[in-house]
Amino acid sequence: MMPDKAGAKARAEGNAAAEAGHGGRPAARPLYVQVKELMRARLSDGSWKPGRILPSEFELAAEFGVSQGTVRKALDELAVERLVVRRQGKGTFVAEHDEDRALFHFLKLLADDGGRALPESRVLGVKAARANAAERAALALEEGAKVWRIDRLRHLSGRPAILEQVAAPEALFPGLGKEEPVPNTLYRLYEARYGVTVARAEERLKAVAAGAAEAQALDIAPGASLLAIDRIAFAIDGRPVEWRRSLCLTDRHHYLAELV
């Protein structure tokens, strides 16, 4: 349960929204949206940790001073955003980054026969460096800020398939480069070690030709076609926390975009 002061704040916000709907004045935001943002803040600041079961809808409704229907609608939206998980007969849990979530939510490369497999990674290098202009733009960093750069070769079905460079703010992930070994699923590390949960990502795709270095790493001919995936990952509070560029061999795989 949240402290009385925070509960009073939530109820006050709810009352203010209700009052704004009277006398022909439109409410600033729907009440369920306000409740959702209060819940999102708890997820972001670590008050509700990954894997934790949430209080019941009845308890949350009493705590926030709103109806159960309002709480349910807020939780439904968080579930759509994959920040919480509903488990029949058990309750609602804070989502956590495990291999299944990495595989089905963030990994869009599938074998041509429809099979999914989590890539196995071989780290080629890890270093801290001053962020270049592109990294500063992608990660909203100030000039002089440093990033970790992680270079990896990732295998699918035992075959080199993805050449990847990851840039992540050093200030946000102190000591990241000292991880031995750097884990295969980085988002799980960000969450477990640093309390940073990747909530969503934006990707841009483009066809490119393999240069000499990429061709050697992926065991292909120079000039062969690759799919370049440029991804910026965002935390629950909207901060960009990682920039990842992946060069993917797609002779046996394809990129699946699910439109809902």
Q: Rank 13-17, 27-31, 168-172, 198-202 by mean pLDDT and report only the highest.
A: 168-172
Q: Which amino acid is at 89?
A: G
DSSP string covering 41-78: HHHHHTSS-TTPBPPPHHHHHHHHTS-HHHHHHHHHHH
Q: Which amino acid is at 154?
A: R
Which pLDDT score, from 0 to 100, does residue 84 have?
87
With b meaning 16 or more CB within 10 Å and e meaning fewer, what string describes 20-50?
A: eeeeeeeeeeebbbbbbebbbebbbeeebeb
Q: Which domains does the chain have, with CATH numbers?
A: 4-94 (1.10.10.10), 111-255 (3.40.1410.10)
Residue 216 has pLDDT above 50, yes or no: yes
Q: What strands lie across the sheet with 146-156, from one edge to the other? A: 120-130, 146-156, 159-169, 240-248, 225-235, 198-209
Residue 16 has pLDDT above 70, yes or no: no
pTM, two decimal places: 0.76
- Alpha-carbon distances of 185 from 30, 120, 197, rounded to whole Å: 37, 9, 13
Q: Which residue has the tokens 């209700």?
A: 18
Which pLDDT score, from 0 to 100, does residue 114 have?
84
**Averaged pLDDT score across all residues of the chain:** 85
* pLDDT tens for each residue of 85-140: 898 888 899 887 666 666 557 788 888 988 888 888 999 999 999 999 999 999 99
